[in-house]
């Protein structure tokens, strides 16, 4: 792609660094912004992302201070820890309104294909938190993908020395799904891990 203006070229190159954005999409964004009366707000909020947001020292979640609202909330169960991949998963679980423990955000999943090893993730600090001895149960809430399962297994091995209940979120047929369209692996696991029918009516 050849541009008549250096500014447009630079802008397209910069926008194309966003995840999943190619040069065509970047140009679409740039042309949209050129037509807008006020682009100050976008520039301002991008700066604020760096200045106003921090990572929580304890759980590594994104927060407006170095101790996040969840970690500092005295009402939350300090003995229960949920291990997730990133901020989006914290958001998703918080939106269910069914979890009252703390979180630990890994910041990614082990993926040799993408060059992400255990050392790139917040696993060492998880180990440190466990060593403090307050946490009694750890729930692994990672994606049901190859990378998610690998990471879960790595953490399972890593936390073995600690005296802690380790569980993983249930895999099975999604609520609202029809059996005939479920894949074999999911259906197989949902049969193997069948639950007492009464469990469906109790919210812990």
Describe the strand order of the beta sheet including 101-105 as a list of residue ranges.
101-105, 77-84, 137-140, 165-168
Query: Contacts with its own copies in 35-54 (CB under 8 A)?
Result: 39-50, 52-53
Single residue of 74, 75, 95, 176 touching its own copies by CB under 8 A: 95
DSSP designation for 101:
E
Question: Is residue 96 near its own copies by the rule CB under 8 A?
Answer: no
What secondary structure does DSSP assign to 143-167, as a single string? -SSHHHHHHHHHHHHHTTTS--EEE
32 sits near its own copies (criterion: CB under 8 A): yes
For position 75 contacting its own copies by CB under 8 A, the verdict is no
Q: Is 119 a binder of its own copies (CB under 8 A)? A: no
Cβ closest to its own copies, residue 88 vs residue 194: 88
106 belongs to the binding site for its own copies (CB under 8 A): no
**What are the residues whose beta carbons fall under 8 Å from the beta carbon of 99, sequence distance 6 or more?**
82, 93
Q: How far is the CB of 29 from its own copies (least distance, A)?
A: 5
Rounded CA-CA distance 86/99 in Å is: 16
Smallest separation, CB 35 to its own copies (Å): 8
For residues 103 and 83, give the distance between their C-alpha atoms in angstroms, rounded to a whole number.
6
Smallest CA-to-CA distance from 105 within 82, 80, 136 is with 82
Determine, following the binding rule CB under 8 A, whether residue 114 of this chain makes contact with its own copies.
no
Residue numbers at the binding site for its own copies (CB under 8 A): 1-8, 10-11, 14-15, 18-20, 25, 27-34, 39-50, 52-53, 61-64, 68-70, 86-88, 90-91, 94-95
């Amino acid at each position: 792609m050849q541009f008549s203006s250096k500014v447009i070229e630079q802008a397209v190159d910069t926008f194309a660094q966003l995840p999943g954005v190619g040069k065509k999409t970047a140009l679409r964004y740039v042309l949209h912004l050129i037509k807008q009366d006020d682009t100050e707000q976008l520039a301002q909020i991008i700066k604020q992302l760096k200045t106003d947001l921090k990572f929580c020292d304890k759980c590594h979640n994104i927060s407006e201070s170095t101790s996040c609202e969840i970690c500092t909330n005295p009402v939350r169960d300090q003995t229960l820890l949920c291990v997730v991949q990133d901020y989006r998963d914290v958001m998703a679980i918080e939106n269910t309104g069914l979890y009252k423990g703390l979180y630990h955000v890994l910041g990614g999943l082990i993926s040799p294909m993408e060059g992400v090893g255990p050392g790139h993730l917040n696993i060492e600090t998880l180990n440190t938190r466990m060593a403090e001895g307050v946490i009694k149960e750890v729930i692994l809430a990672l994606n049901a993908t190859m990378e998610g399962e690998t990471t879960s297994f790595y953490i399972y091995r890593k936390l073995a020395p600690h005296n802690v209940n380790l569980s993983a979120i249930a895999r099975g047929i999604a609520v609202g799904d029809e059996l005939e369209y479920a894949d074999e692996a999911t259906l197989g696991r949902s049969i193997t891990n069948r639950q007492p029918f009464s469990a469906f009516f109790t919210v812990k």
